[in-house]
Structure 1
Amino acid sequence: MPSSLPEIDLESGSETSKRAALYLRISKADGQQTEENQRRELREFLQKEGYELAGEYVDHESGRKGRKEREAFDEMFEAAENREFDVLVFWSLDRFSREGIRKTISYLQQLEALGVGFRSYTEPYLNTENELVSHILLAVMSYFAEYEAKKISRRTKAGLERAREEGKQIGRPSKFDEHEEDLKAMLEDDLSKAEMKRRTGLAYNTVKKYIRRIEDES
């Protein structure tokens, strides 16, 4: 993937390095990855690419937690809003966020809106240093996020329809279903509606409605 041209200091004619921030998230489930391993390799990457290190943000929380639940993630966004760095570098997209593709894309779009690019150390194609590539990349990722959401919706609807056809209960059982057998037994014992109300805890009018329904169905 082509990279953007380096910035030039017009007064001196020399190249100026971009400010990059590192976001590290350490997964407790991954015993092979440590904070120092990530930090060392990412710092070496910045040095190789000619970036100036502008900050490091480290979380030990689950990537499924949102911005406000990951302290370093939230601080990183506040720094981005204050334009304290130009590019965010992370180990991989799943280290950046695991909240689902739509939420992840939303975070990346927020960075873009703030004028901050991003790069994934282990996924070279996730590189928005080139403005044209940035727009194309985010557009493609947004498309697939929307496609995935629609696919999940279709699968959910198909599953519910199949369950209905098989006569399975969808969602929580109703109060009628919960009390039906007890009310039938009380009817056979010729108990009064007032006694049924006392035993079931239902309102008197509800007992009358349920009894009427049982009688209509019998």
Structure 2
Amino acid sequence: MKVAIYARVSTDEQAKEGYSIESQKDSVINFVKSQRWEIYDFYIDDGYSAKDLKRPAMQRLIEDTKEKKFDVVVFYKLDRLVRSVGDLDKLLKLFDKHNIGIRSVTEPFDTTTAMGRFLITLVAAIAQWERETISERVIINMTKKATLGERNGGKAPFGYNIEDGKLVINEEEARLVREMFRMYIAGKGIRQIVLYLQQFGVDKDIRTVSRMLENPVYCGKLRWGKNSKMNEIISDDITHPPIVDIETFEKAQILRKQRTQEGKKATSPYPFSGVLRCARCGSALSGYYKKKRGSKHYICIAKKNKGTCDLPMFTERALTQVFLESLSPSDPNKFLNLIRNIEIQTENEDHTVLIAELEKELAAIKTRKRNWLLALGNGTITQEEYKEMTTEDSKSETLIKEQLEQLSKKAVTLDLESVLSIVQNIPALWETANDYEKKSFINELFETIVVDVPSDYFRGRGKTPSVIIKEVHLR
């Protein structure tokens, strides 16, 4: 008789109850030898809970059962196989269907009789009750700890290390976290932040970065229960050193909420929805699918909801055609002339030298102020003299900082080559990207795209209007 040996242990059980894989295997092997059966294979789930049947070895056991590769399944104890009455019922039906028996080394089961089936079901029910009771106790204790502002374990979030069970700032990572929040509040998109992190060898996907921006741990609080069916708990007290201040964190949350409410920018199959604006009434355009034609269209929501706009509906194909044509590398001015919210820099507008001079003067002012402070501390000058000496410098310092801020804003605007390099790559990306990737790219690059159709267009059967892009606003 061929035997399939199943063994399972979760990490907690291995530590607390002694159900190690090796001890289970030794007991089962000795039992099989005493019965003079032949071992077909071992099915080992190391570190997996029995809350369901979604375990690698269990799934392999189920597949091999269907092919009748063995005659009996042997395990150390029933709760190693299942801890749910429902799962036990599924397995018993499967084993019966393929004429495969089950044997427990430590429990006397005989599934060929009604009483035997009742006993094994009863044992499974007790195992399920035990698992659920333990789970409830754990949840109660963890909820209590979270309410008190204590960590419930787990890995340290990016930006922190764990020392003696407490979160301490990892300054190298924290610098990137601060920059993430700064970029997001400055209007940068999640994808741009992902690309920024990749420059420093930090590989975080869009979903992870989104969760990081919403995690109150970065302003010194703790959160528990976010990814469970329980109520989320966020501590009110500062429990560890914050990486960003509460004001910055809350500002990011307001922006997260606003951008979420703007539309389904990440999930809509209409690449241009969320950025299209009607040239006639200023309203947004939404995607519309015509089943009969099997084509995607865009319609002004003022026309759709109130009938107050006369912009005709047009196809996505017509919009895409004129959009890609406007990005032609042979005529770059065609696209540049559409941009309304960007200052294109030329060589004559390079502020590098001026910025360097201002920064040099700012450093000199800081040095002078520090020297005056040392003189005050040494008693060389009086407090009145200190105020007199530093007042003018403080005014100059404020003025220079304002100038640098304005110049920095200009410095981050894209130069001519950068603008063209970005937009002229779109046609190549368009050929291979799916709708969601196209949408993500469009929404990351464009704030709005204002569209119209020719004024001489008249509606007719099978007649589709062409599209005119009036202007664009970059993010």
TM-score, normalization by structure 2? 0.26
Q: Which has the higher contact order (CA 8 A, sep 6+)?
A: 1
State the structure with more CA Rg: 2
